A = this chain, B = another copy of it.
Protein backbone atom coordinates (compact mmCIF):
# COMPACT_ATOMS: atom_id res chain seq x y z
CA UNK A 1 0.00 0.00 0.00
CA UNK A 2 2.11 2.83 -1.15
CA UNK A 3 0.86 6.36 -1.52
CA UNK A 4 -2.16 7.39 0.41
CA UNK A 5 -3.38 9.99 -2.07
CA UNK A 6 -6.88 10.95 -3.00
CA UNK A 7 -9.23 8.09 -2.37
CA UNK A 8 -12.43 10.06 -2.35
CA UNK A 9 -13.84 9.26 -5.76
CA UNK A 10 -15.19 5.76 -5.84
CA UNK A 11 -17.21 6.00 -9.01
CA UNK A 12 -15.65 5.28 -12.39
CA UNK A 13 -13.68 8.14 -13.90
CA UNK A 14 -15.51 8.11 -17.20
CA UNK A 15 -17.85 5.79 -18.96
CA UNK A 16 -16.54 3.82 -21.94
CA UNK A 17 -18.12 5.16 -25.15
CA UNK A 18 -16.91 2.62 -27.63
CA UNK A 19 -17.34 -1.12 -27.52
CA UNK A 20 -13.59 -1.48 -27.40
CA UNK A 21 -13.47 0.46 -24.16
CA UNK A 22 -16.26 -1.53 -22.60
CA UNK A 23 -14.28 -4.65 -23.38
CA UNK A 24 -11.21 -3.21 -21.72
CA UNK A 25 -13.16 -2.43 -18.58
CA UNK A 26 -14.60 -5.94 -18.51
CA UNK A 27 -11.17 -7.48 -18.98
CA UNK A 28 -9.75 -5.34 -16.20
CA UNK A 29 -12.48 -6.40 -13.80
CA UNK A 30 -11.99 -10.06 -14.59
CA UNK A 31 -8.24 -9.73 -14.14
CA UNK A 32 -8.81 -8.10 -10.75
CA UNK A 33 -11.14 -10.94 -9.79
CA UNK A 34 -8.63 -13.61 -10.80
CA UNK A 35 -5.81 -11.96 -8.88
CA UNK A 36 -7.93 -11.61 -5.76
CA UNK A 37 -8.96 -15.23 -5.76
CA UNK A 38 -5.50 -16.55 -6.60
CA UNK A 39 -3.23 -14.25 -4.58
CA UNK A 40 -5.60 -12.62 -2.11
CA UNK A 41 -5.53 -9.03 -0.98
CA UNK A 42 -1.77 -9.34 -0.51
CA UNK A 43 -1.09 -9.71 -4.22
CA UNK A 44 -3.82 -7.37 -5.36
CA UNK A 45 -2.28 -4.27 -6.93
CA UNK A 46 -3.12 -2.15 -9.91
CA UNK A 47 0.06 -2.93 -11.83
CA UNK A 48 -0.60 -6.65 -11.54
CA UNK A 49 -4.22 -6.19 -12.60
CA UNK A 50 -3.23 -4.23 -15.70
CA UNK A 51 -0.53 -6.74 -16.62
CA UNK A 52 -2.82 -9.73 -16.16
CA UNK A 53 -5.46 -7.97 -18.23
CA UNK A 54 -2.91 -7.38 -20.98
CA UNK A 55 -3.71 -3.69 -20.77
CA UNK A 56 -1.48 -0.80 -19.87
CA UNK A 57 -1.62 0.69 -16.41
CA UNK A 58 -2.61 3.98 -18.01
CA UNK A 59 -5.75 2.46 -19.45
CA UNK A 60 -6.77 1.20 -16.05
CA UNK A 61 -6.61 4.74 -14.71
CA UNK A 62 -8.64 6.01 -17.64
CA UNK A 63 -11.67 4.27 -16.22
CA UNK A 64 -10.95 4.05 -12.51
CA UNK A 65 -9.68 7.09 -10.63
CA UNK A 66 -8.01 4.88 -8.05
CA UNK A 67 -7.67 1.34 -6.80
CA UNK A 68 -10.69 1.47 -4.52
CA UNK A 69 -12.93 2.48 -7.41
CA UNK A 70 -11.82 -0.66 -9.19
CA UNK A 71 -12.61 -2.73 -6.14
CA UNK A 72 -16.03 -1.14 -5.80
CA UNK A 73 -16.81 -1.81 -9.44
CA UNK A 74 -15.84 -5.43 -8.94
CA UNK A 75 -18.03 -5.71 -5.87
CA UNK A 76 -20.90 -4.37 -7.88
CA UNK A 77 -20.27 -6.76 -10.73
CA UNK A 78 -20.06 -9.73 -8.38
CA UNK A 79 -23.13 -8.93 -6.34
CA UNK A 80 -25.40 -8.02 -9.24
CA UNK A 81 -26.79 -11.52 -9.69
CA UNK A 82 -27.20 -12.01 -5.96
CA UNK A 83 -29.22 -8.84 -5.66
CA UNK A 84 -31.42 -9.84 -8.57
CA UNK A 85 -32.07 -13.18 -6.90
CA UNK A 86 -32.80 -11.52 -3.58
CA UNK A 87 -35.23 -9.10 -5.11
CA UNK A 88 -36.92 -11.93 -6.99
CA UNK A 89 -37.76 -13.52 -3.65
CA UNK A 90 -40.04 -10.58 -3.00
CA UNK A 91 -42.43 -12.28 -5.43
CA UNK A 92 -42.47 -15.42 -3.35
CA UNK A 93 -45.30 -15.80 -0.91
CA UNK A 94 -44.85 -17.74 2.24
CA UNK A 95 -42.22 -17.79 4.93
CA UNK A 96 -40.57 -21.11 4.23
CA UNK A 97 -40.35 -20.63 0.48
CA UNK A 98 -39.00 -17.15 0.97
CA UNK A 99 -36.32 -18.32 3.34
CA UNK A 100 -35.45 -21.20 1.04
CA UNK A 101 -35.06 -18.77 -1.84
CA UNK A 102 -32.86 -16.38 0.07
CA UNK A 103 -30.64 -19.14 1.38
CA UNK A 104 -30.32 -20.64 -2.08
CA UNK A 105 -29.36 -17.26 -3.52
CA UNK A 106 -26.71 -16.68 -0.87
CA UNK A 107 -25.27 -20.16 -1.25
CA UNK A 108 -25.15 -19.90 -5.02
CA UNK A 109 -23.44 -16.53 -4.76
CA UNK A 110 -20.72 -17.62 -2.37
CA UNK A 111 -19.99 -20.93 -4.09
CA UNK A 112 -19.61 -19.26 -7.45
CA UNK A 113 -16.18 -17.87 -6.55
CA UNK A 114 -15.56 -18.51 -2.87
CA UNK A 115 -12.13 -16.97 -2.42
CA UNK A 116 -13.12 -13.88 -4.34
CA UNK A 117 -16.31 -13.43 -2.37
CA UNK A 118 -14.39 -13.66 0.87
CA UNK A 119 -11.89 -10.98 -0.15
CA UNK A 120 -14.60 -8.67 -1.39
CA UNK A 121 -16.60 -9.16 1.80
CA UNK A 122 -13.60 -7.97 3.74
CA UNK A 123 -12.99 -5.01 1.47
CA UNK A 124 -16.62 -3.96 1.55
CA UNK A 125 -16.27 -3.57 5.28
CA UNK A 126 -13.45 -1.09 4.79
CA UNK A 127 -14.71 0.94 1.87
CA UNK A 128 -16.86 4.02 2.36
CA UNK A 129 -19.50 2.66 0.02
CA UNK A 130 -22.48 4.72 -0.86
CA UNK A 131 -25.49 4.74 1.45
CA UNK A 132 -25.77 1.82 3.83
CA UNK A 133 -29.06 0.91 2.15
CA UNK A 134 -27.22 0.03 -1.00
CA UNK A 135 -24.93 -2.43 0.72
CA UNK A 136 -25.61 -6.01 -0.08
CA UNK A 137 -26.07 -7.04 3.51
CA UNK A 138 -28.64 -4.36 4.16
CA UNK A 139 -30.67 -5.36 1.13
CA UNK A 140 -30.69 -8.98 2.15
CA UNK A 141 -31.79 -7.99 5.63
CA UNK A 142 -34.66 -6.10 4.07
CA UNK A 143 -35.74 -9.17 2.13
CA UNK A 144 -35.47 -11.26 5.29
CA UNK A 145 -37.69 -8.89 7.21
CA UNK A 146 -40.28 -9.10 4.46
CA UNK A 147 -40.26 -12.88 4.91
CA UNK A 148 -40.63 -12.47 8.66
CA UNK A 149 -43.78 -10.48 8.03
CA UNK A 150 -45.47 -13.40 6.29
CA UNK A 151 -48.55 -14.83 7.92
CA UNK A 152 -46.96 -18.23 8.43
CA UNK A 153 -43.75 -16.88 9.90
CA UNK A 154 -42.86 -17.67 13.51
CA UNK A 155 -43.37 -14.97 16.11
CA UNK A 156 -40.15 -13.00 16.59
CA UNK A 157 -39.22 -10.73 19.44
CA UNK A 158 -37.03 -8.35 17.49
CA UNK A 159 -37.06 -8.56 13.72
CA UNK A 160 -33.93 -6.44 13.29
CA UNK A 161 -31.86 -8.69 15.48
CA UNK A 162 -33.39 -11.79 13.95
CA UNK A 163 -32.55 -10.54 10.47
CA UNK A 164 -29.00 -9.63 11.42
CA UNK A 165 -28.44 -12.99 13.10
CA UNK A 166 -29.93 -14.89 10.19
CA UNK A 167 -27.70 -13.10 7.75
CA UNK A 168 -24.71 -13.79 9.99
CA UNK A 169 -25.52 -17.49 10.17
CA UNK A 170 -25.85 -17.75 6.40
CA UNK A 171 -22.69 -15.79 5.76
CA UNK A 172 -20.70 -17.73 8.32
CA UNK A 173 -21.76 -21.11 7.03
CA UNK A 174 -21.37 -20.48 3.32
CA UNK A 175 -18.11 -18.65 3.87
CA UNK A 176 -16.64 -21.55 5.79
CA UNK A 177 -17.99 -24.03 3.26
CA UNK A 178 -16.44 -22.09 0.42
CA UNK A 179 -13.14 -21.93 2.21
CA UNK A 180 -12.88 -25.66 2.69
CA UNK A 181 -13.90 -26.28 -0.90
CA UNK A 182 -17.36 -27.68 -0.40
CA UNK A 183 -19.08 -27.68 -3.78
CA UNK A 184 -22.45 -29.39 -3.27
CA UNK A 185 -24.70 -26.39 -3.10
CA UNK A 186 -27.86 -28.43 -2.58
CA UNK A 187 -26.55 -30.17 0.52
CA UNK A 188 -25.11 -26.92 1.84
CA UNK A 189 -28.32 -24.99 1.24
CA UNK A 190 -30.25 -27.68 3.10
CA UNK A 191 -27.98 -27.42 6.13
CA UNK A 192 -28.04 -23.64 6.14
CA UNK A 193 -31.81 -23.65 5.93
CA UNK A 194 -31.92 -26.08 8.83
CA UNK A 195 -29.73 -23.79 10.93
CA UNK A 196 -31.73 -20.71 10.10
CA UNK A 197 -35.12 -22.29 10.72
CA UNK A 198 -33.80 -23.89 13.87
CA UNK A 199 -32.72 -20.50 15.15
CA UNK A 200 -35.94 -18.73 14.18
CA UNK A 201 -38.44 -21.30 15.40
CA UNK A 202 -36.78 -22.46 18.61
CA UNK A 203 -38.68 -21.03 21.60
Contacts and interface: CB of A to CB of B under 8 A. Distances in A.
A164 B180 contact: yes
A171 interface: yes
Count the copies: 2
B126 A195 contact: no
Interface in A152-194: 161, 164-165, 167-173, 175-177, 179-180, 191, 194
A6 interface: no
A153 to B, nearest CB: 15
A168 B173 contact: yes
Contacts of A122: 122
A191 B122 CA distance: 24
B191 A197 contact: no
Interface string A192-203: 001101111110
Nearest to A119: B122
A89 B64 CA distance: 52
B195 A197 contact: no
Contact of A171 (B164, B172, B177, B198): B172
A134 interface: no
A165 B41 CA distance: 26
